[in-house]
Amino acid sequence: MHIQVGAAQPGEATRSGTSRGAEALPARDKRHKANSLDIAHMAGVSQSTVSRALRGDPMVSASTRERVLEVARQLNYHVDKNASSLRRKHTGTLALLFFEDPTTDDSAINPFFHSMLGSIIRACSRQGYDLLVSFQDLLRDWLADYEDSHKADGIILLGYGDYLAYRDRLEALIAHGAHLVRWGQVLPDHPGVSIGCDNLAGGRLAAEHLVRLGRRRIAFIGEIAASAPEMADRYRGYHEALLASGVTPDPHLQVSAVSTEASGHSALRALLERGLQFDAVFAASDLIAIGALGALTAAGRRVPEDVAVVGFDGIPMGAVTRPSLTTVSQGTKRAGEALVESLINQIQGRPVENRILSPYLVVRESCGGAAPADASAAAAICP
């Protein structure tokens, strides 16, 4: 299943006035359809510069791009995407593939990725690209489905699945010359280009904050296996921060969970059944944390008085839980923009590198922070 999301097209412009730095618009035969050569003549630039400016090439200066766009508006010129694509052998479309999370509900897409989707769509639109959004499973041939069939010029991968299960697939894609960027843990030997959050630093942020609040028996709920490297790094950061603060981590306070509310709820109940004392929970995702909040309430534990809770991701749902959820945010706006920028640079033959984005702490009620006075206060960033 896929959904085509188109880049916004400019509305018809009036022909009165002239562009700054361009010649006055000459009288034209109304039967003549404006082309890029007309724009080049009026804007005082080459035809190739017109083409680059109209497709948002960052090598064109802002002033030149604006001059070209103004003349194009005056001439009521619209890019013929089909003709342009045939000339460049590009589709002008990027494919965003969601691959399956291990969830039991019908959506099977983590809300964190829903948040990122908006920024990806806006970034594509600004660059003049359409976006093809598709829900996939790990067994499909992504290259054949999209680049080889000329549906898209490149692929953005979003999803939490088992890293070890699809590593070989990524290696094959890269060897075939696919344009591809993936959101996920940035590893030294990972195939292709990855953009991800500094999960180690994020784990430290969460644990250090809880220690500053006087918590010492801090549980961790989430996977720590090699197949889940993002959660494993969050655990490692938590573990290092406790040791640096003089707190001895208790391995019995770690409970495995995948990124769903149901898994978080079950994991917290399992932790209670162990009969161990704990005064805080660091959950490896916000969905796990929200499930844990429900289990704590059902068990009669007060949050944050008895148990402080911190999540990870920064999904919008965390601002409206009761109590509202303190979280380590990955910054979905920055993430979406970085993914699109990296993929377009690959398509245009520019060098690209892995990128690690810094997370930040959002303090709300669940850790003992002050109750937000309004909606904007609910997203206050802890220094």
pLDDT at residue number 300: 98
d(CA 114, CA 119): 10
d(CA 121, CA 7): 8
Crossing angle of helices 47-54 and 62-74, rounded to 10°: 90
At residue 158, what are phi and psi to the nearest 5 degrees?
Answer: -130, 135
d(CA 286, CA 111): 9
- pTM, 2 dp: 0.72
Q: 42 Cβ partners below 8 Å, 6+ apart?
A: 19, 22, 23, 25, 71, 74, 75
Largest CA distance in the chain: 86
Q: Which domains does the chain have, with CATH numbers?
A: 2-12+33-88 (1.10.260.40), 199-331+361-379 (3.40.50.2300)
pLDDT at residue number 97: 83
d(CA 357, CA 15): 45
Q: Which amino acid is at 56?
A: G
Start-to-end Cα distance in the chain: 43
With 0-12 / 13-18 / 19 or more C-beta atoms within 10 angstroms meaning exposed / middle / buried, residue 121 is buried
Name the E strands within 26-88: none
With 0-12 / 13-18 / 19 or more C-beta atoms within 10 angstroms meaning exposed / middle / buried, residue 172 is middle
pLDDT at residue number 105: 52
Among 373, 351, 375, 348, CA closest to 56:
348
d(CA 114, CA 92): 23
Element (H, E) at 154: strand 154-158
The answer to whether residues 299 and 272 touch, using CB atoms and an 8 Å cutoff, is yes
pLDDT at residue number 113: 84
pLDDT at residue number 144: 53
Query: How many angstroms from the chain centroid is the CA of residue 24?
Result: 45
pLDDT at residue number 162: 56
The answer to whether residues 98 and 158 touch, using CB atoms and an 8 Å cutoff, is yes
Q: Chunk the chain into consecutive blocks of 10 residues (it has 383) and report each block's average pLDDT, rounded to whole numbers.
A: 49 36 49 79 87 76 90 81 51 81 56 88 91 71 52 82 64 77 85 92 98 97 91 97 97 95 97 97 97 98 98 96 96 94 93 95 86 40 39
Tokens, residue 205: 């942020």
